[in-house]
């Protein structure tokens, strides 16, 4: 087998000496086969994505900035928040606000950026590249080295919780940047990216999406950039434009850090964050004069912005609606990259079902809380039994899915004549002596259930209930947001993409992964049923 694989791919046999080497070669070539197969798979956009705008004006703005401006090498990560807690998920603070406004803040005393003392210009970086004759390789290596060094230097900078921006005395650069990242799970990162995109779109800023810190892979580990290079030159394949020579500076008096949603539980009229983003002109909120704004936006704005009197007309003039804005932004910013598509090639039958519009798919997303995930991780990813209370919750999801399938069958399936009516019609035709062909029957519906869950025991309950009508990935991704790997992020992104292809959704209310998938699907008039599950 090893010799055959080597011959097929032109690998010299002398490299495959020994059983261990041969095994490694087979693993490598298996991945090559999967990557080749992924090239033949189709990953179509939803048909209803035709309603989305091209965002042509913003595309020109973004590409122009990256091609014409050089602010030094782009960092690979944004330094993490002082407290790496997940407070927005674990608590809900009660506020008694008498008015709406921006948070009080303190001054930031970061020194101006000085190129003469820039650690990125160290001679060791240059010497490490002298032996490489390929200019493209030199550029890539220099970018990675530079990114890691600047990331370490920024991680040592302490910042106040809220930053008051002091306008610089020197003129600002023509390009205005919006740099953003979110250190949580995939759904939170997508919400952050989409909200930041619309903020950048409405304020003419160039969007850069970076990893929050070194503990998480960047979104470029699983997504491609089909229209704009939102890595701002860091990504190896920014499909939206030429690689940038540089990007924004993340230090100095012309840079401001802003986390306006850290203390607000909901984007409701009673909270200051609502006044900031829904009642105000976005060009005047926060440290708006900063050339580089480092924003953490942990709330979805794509629906609420349609209540903003200053920007509603802008969005509507693009052809956007509250139910399409999120999905249109997702498809503009993100596509599945080659490594993620290769995972789909391992299960071509499942992929074919998920992209077949003739198959009605009911998506079920069940998240029982962080405690269940952590229990599985502590046991090395092994399945842990569900307590009776959790089992009853899961059974409620599955029963809801069955009732929804029956409703879909009733509304869209072939019409069944009432009992006795078919016999009565036949007798009437015989009496008239003019037999007529029966009316054409509608094709039978093919209804399947797609399950996305991070609790392994839920998968087994669904198998017992739905049998062969259950669709799911054979290898689940069970990861906590603090221990995400590139492979795990890709598996989650593929599951999320499949969930977005479903026609109907039953989701967990306190989890964003189901809601973001439903909105990304852009189904016209989708049915989304949200169910509550106690945290933990």
Do 250 and 297 reside in the same domain of the chain?
Answer: yes
Please state the domain count of the chain: 3
Per-residue pLDDT for 18 more than 80? no
Q: 485 in a domain, yes or no?
A: yes
Q: Tell me how far apart the alpha carbons of residues 177 and 197 are, in angstroms, rounded to a whole number.
A: 11
Taking a C-beta distance cutoff of 8 angstroms, is the pair 174, 248 a contact?
A: no
Per-residue pLDDT for 99 more than 60? no
pLDDT at 142: 42
Residue 298: φ, ψ to 5° = -100, 35
pLDDT at 436: 62
Take residue 497 and report the two structure tokens written for it.
């993409």
- Local structure of residue 49 (DSSP, 8 states): G
pLDDT at 69: 39
Per-residue pLDDT for 15 more than 90? no
**CB atoms near residue 345 (< 10 Å):** 18
Do 216 and 266 reside in the same domain of the chain?
Answer: yes
Task: Indicate the residue among 336, 357, 387 that finishes a domain.
Answer: 336
Q: What ranges make up the beta strands (E) of 342-480?
A: 359-366, 446-453, 470-471
Closest alpha carbon to 504 in 442, 445, 453, 447: 447
Do 221 and 370 reside in the same domain of the chain?
Answer: no
Per-residue pLDDT for 138 more than 70? no
**Which helix (H) or strand (E) is 530 found in, with range?**
strand 527-531
What average pLDDT does the segment 183-189 reach? Answer: 86
Q: 428 in a domain, yes or no?
A: no
Q: Tell me how far apart the alpha carbons of residues 362 and 453 are, in angstroms, rounded to a whole number.
A: 14
pLDDT at 325: 98
Q: Tell me how far apart the alpha carbons of residues 36 and 345 are, in angstroms, rounded to a whole number.
A: 9
Per-residue pLDDT for 355 more than 90? yes
Q: Tell me how far apart the alpha carbons of residues 372 and 475 are, in angstroms, rounded to a whole number.
A: 18
pLDDT at 380: 58
In this prediction, residue 533 has a pLDDT band, given cuts at 50, 70 and 90, of confident
pLDDT at 68: 41
**H helices present in 94-185, as ranges:** 123-127, 135-155
**Least confident window among 86-100, 399-413, 420-434:** 86-100
Boundaries of domain holding 34? 2-40
Do 319 and 377 reside in the same domain of the chain?
Answer: no
Q: 298 in a domain, yes or no?
A: yes
Residue with tokens 């409701």: 268
Ranked by mean pLDDT, which of 150-159, 252-261, 482-491 comes out on top? Answer: 252-261
Q: 275 in a domain, yes or no?
A: yes
Q: What is the pTM of this model?
A: 0.73
| CATH number of the domain to which 500 belongs | 3.40.50
Do 273 and 216 reside in the same domain of the chain?
Answer: yes
Sign of the torsion angle spanned by Cα atoms 264, 267, 271, 277:
positive
More confident residue, 396 or 298: 396
Q: 209 in a domain, yes or no?
A: yes
Taking a C-beta distance cutoff of 8 angstroms, is the pair 309, 271 a contact?
A: no
Residue 4: φ, ψ to 5° = -65, -45
pLDDT at 425: 61
Do 183 and 281 reside in the same domain of the chain?
Answer: yes
Q: What is the mean pLDDT of the chain?
A: 74
Q: What ranges make up the beta strands (E) of 440-484?
A: 446-453, 470-471
In this prediction, residue 127 has a pLDDT band, given cuts at 50, 70 and 90, of very low
Per-residue pLDDT for 72 more than 80? no
Per-residue pLDDT for 246 more than 50? yes
What average pLDDT does the segment 129-136 reach? Answer: 42
């Amino acid at each position: 087998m090893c010799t055959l694989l080597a011959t097929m791919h032109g690998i010299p046999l002398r490299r495959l000496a020994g059983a261990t080497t041969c095994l490694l070669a087979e693993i490598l070539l298996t991945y090559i086969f999967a990557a080749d197969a992924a090239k033949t798979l189709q990953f179509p956009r939803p048909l209803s994505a035709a309603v989305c705008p091209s965002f042509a004006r913003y595309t020109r703005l973004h590409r122009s900035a990256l091609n014409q401006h050089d602010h030094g090498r782009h960092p690979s990560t944004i330094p993490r928040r002082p407290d790496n807690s997940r407070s927005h998920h674990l608590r809900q603070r009660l506020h008694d606000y008498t008015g709406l406004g921006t948070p009080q803040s303190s001054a930031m005393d970061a020194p101006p950026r000085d190129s003469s003392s820039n650690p990125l210009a160290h001679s060791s970086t240059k010497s490490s590249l002298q032996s490489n004759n390929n200019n493209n390789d030199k550029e890539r290596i220099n970018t990675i080295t530079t990114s890691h060094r600047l990331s370490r230097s920024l991680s040592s900078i302490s910042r106040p919780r809220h930053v008051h921006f002091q306008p610089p005395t020197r003129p600002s650069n023509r390009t205005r940047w919006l740099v953003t990242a979110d250190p949580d799970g995939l759904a939170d990162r997508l919400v952050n990216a989409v909200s930041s995109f619309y903020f950048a779109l409405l304020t003419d800023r160039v969007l850069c999406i970076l990893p929050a810190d070194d503990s998480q892979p960047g979104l470029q580990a699983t997504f491609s950039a089909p229209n704009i290079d939102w890595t701002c030159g860091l990504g190896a394949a920014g499909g939206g434009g030429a690689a940038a020579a540089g990007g924004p500076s993340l230090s100095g008096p012309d840079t401001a850090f802003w986390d306006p949603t850290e203390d607000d539980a909901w984007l409701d009229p009673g909270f200051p964050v609502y006044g900031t983003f829904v009642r105000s002109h976005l060009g005047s909120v926060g440290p708006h004069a900063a050339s580089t704004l480092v924003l953490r936006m942990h709330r979805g704005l794509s629906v609420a912005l349609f209540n903003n009197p200053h920007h509603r007309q802008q969005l509507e003039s693009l052809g956007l609606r509250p139910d399409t804005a999120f999905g249109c932004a997702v498809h503009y910013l993100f596509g599945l990259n080659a490594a993620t598509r290769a995972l789909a090639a391992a299960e071509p039958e499942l992929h074919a079902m998920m992209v077949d519009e003739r198959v009605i798919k009911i998506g079920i997303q069940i998240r029982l809380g962080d405690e269940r995930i952590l229990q599985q991780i502590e046991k090395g990813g092994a399945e842990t039994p569900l307590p009776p209370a959790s089992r009853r919750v899961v059974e409620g999801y599955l029963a809801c899915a069955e009732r929804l399938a029956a409703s879909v069958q009733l509304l869209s399936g072939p019409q069944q004549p009432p009992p006795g009516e078919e016999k009565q019609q036949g007798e009437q035709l015989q009496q008239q002596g003019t037999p007529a062909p029966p009316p054409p029957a509608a094709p039978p519906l093919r209804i399947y259930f797609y399950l996305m869950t991070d609790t392994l025991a839920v998968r087994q309950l669904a198998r017992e209930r739905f049998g062969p009508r259950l669709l799911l990935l054979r290898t689940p991704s069970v990861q906590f947001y603090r221990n995400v790997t590139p492979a795990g992020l890709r598996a989650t992104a593929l599951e999320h993409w499949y969930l977005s292809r479903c026609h109907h959704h039953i989701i967990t209310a306190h989890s964003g992964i189901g809601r973001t998938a439903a909105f990304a699907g852009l189904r016209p008039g989708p049915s989304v049923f949200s169910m509550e599950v106690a945290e933990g």
